[in-house]
Amino acid sequence: MAGKTLAAWAAAGEKPEVLYWVGCAASFDDRAQRVARAFVKLLDAAGVKWGILGTEETCT
């Protein structure tokens, strides 16, 4: 999976094409985890540069 945190993108002087807000459901729910992983695989297969907020992401 090619995603990096927004902080890592910024440190490299770059920006992701897509900022993926995973949310808290993928932290707790097995089905949501599978959906999140599948979405990331699609982004990777499409060659999209994506990132997440990392520790700055909060529950929605």
Question: Does 38 or 9 have the greater pLDDT score?
Answer: 38
pLDDT tens digits for 13-29?
989 999 999 888 888 89
- Given this model, what pLDDT does residue 3 score? 76
- Report whether pLDDT(2) > 70: no
| Nearest alpha-carbon partner for 1 in 57, 51, 35 | 51
With cut-offs at 50, 70 and 90, classify the pLDDT of residue 48.
very high
The Cα 56–Cα 7 span in angstroms is 9
| Nearest alpha-carbon partner for 39 in 59, 14, 15, 20 | 20
Provide the residue ranges of all domains of the chain, joining segments of one domain with +: 4-56
Mean pLDDT, the chain, rounded, equals 89
pTM for the whole structure: 0.80
The answer to whether 51 touches 9, Cβ cutoff 8 Å, is yes
